[in-house]
Amino acid sequence: MKGMFLTLEGVDGAGKSSHLEWLAAWFRSRGRVVRMTREPGGTPVGEKLREIVLHEPMHAETEALIMFAARREHIERIIRPALAAGEVVISDRFTDASFAYQCGGRGLAEARLEVLEAWVHADLQPDLTLLFDLPTEIAARRLATARSPDRFEREEADFHARVRAAYLRRAERHPERIRVVDGSQGLEAVRAQLLAILESLP
């Protein structure tokens, strides 16, 4: 079987993690081997970098470079080998998140990240990206009851609005792989949208 690379995107609290297991189960029920992973992280080095980037104050470019450094390792050690073995790789965030957070949120030029993207994975893109989209006030309300916030989650409301807008621009630019899901609905309704997308896959 051919490997498949699926990524989940959206602002903090959009519902990515809530649907990860369900998505994996759907693919397993179809006989696929599933590898679930996340960014930043997914490898021993990546998880250490995740701790740093989520909690230590730093320059926006340092942040972007760390994200891509962790990604380089992730692709080499996890993503490519799993795809080569014919597995379905589901990653909670990937490069679209860098464009959304570091460009949309922090204001870095997209050209900067395009250089890193070409360096780190010129010949690899997700086959499918599910973008969980919702008003950021709803996401913030959901997160408020969930857990203690990291460096990104503590950002002002405007930051999250810019991240959301950057994600939507990205979806407009890559309609061939990015599918926007209305994440403001209840869990069951969101799941129904996901199912419709999965069932429409070639």
Ligand X SMILES: Nc1ncnc2c1ncn2[C@@H]1O[C@H](COP(=O)(O)OP(=O)(O)OP(=O)(O)O)[C@@H](O)[C@H]1O
- Residue closer to Mg ion (CB basis): 15 or 104: 15
Contact segment (CB under 6 A) with ligand X among 15-23, 55-63, 69-77, 115-123 equals 15-23
Q: Is 190 in the site for ligand X (CB under 6 A)?
A: yes
The interface with Mg ion within residues 15-54 (CB under 5 A) comprises: 16-17
Nearer to ligand X, 66 or 190 (CB): 190
Shortest Cβ distance from residue 190 to ligand X (Å)? 5
Helix axes 60-74, 44-55, angle to 10 degrees: 160
What is the spatial distance between Cα 185 and Cα 194, in angstroms, rounded to a whole number? 12
DSSP per-residue codes, 145-160: TT----TTTTS-HHHH
Q: Contacts with ligand X in 129-148 (CB under 6 A)?
A: 142-143, 146
Give whichever of 16 and 164 is closer to Mg ion, judged by the CB atom: 16
- Euclidean distance between CA atoms 25 and 43, whole angstroms: 23
Q: How far is the CB of 8 from ligand X (least distance, A)?
A: 8
Nearer residue to ligand X within complex by CB, 3 or 132 = 132
CA 128, CA 4: separation in Å to the nearest integer? 8
DSSP structure class, residue 56? S
Instruction: Candidates 8-16, 45-53, 152-160, 175-183: pick the segment binding Mg ion (CB under 5 A).
Output: 8-16
Q: Is 62 in the site for Mg ion (CB under 5 A)?
A: no
Q: What is the dihedral of CA 16, 20, 26, 30, to 10 degrees?
A: 120
Q: Using CB under 6 A as the criterion, what x/- string covers residues 75-104 for binding ligand X?
A: ------------------------------
Structure tokens at 182: 């209305």
Written as six digits, the tokens of 41 are 């992280």
For ligand X, the binding residue among 14, 67, 78, 120 (CB under 6 A) is 14
CA pair distance 70, 160, nearest whole angstrom: 23
- At 158, list the tokens: 């405007």
**Residue 16 binding ligand X, by CB under 6 A:** yes
Tracing tokens 């990860």 back to the chain, one arrives at: 20
Residues that bind ligand X (CB under 6 A): 10, 12-18, 142-143, 146, 185-187, 190
Residues that bind Mg ion (CB under 5 A): 16-17
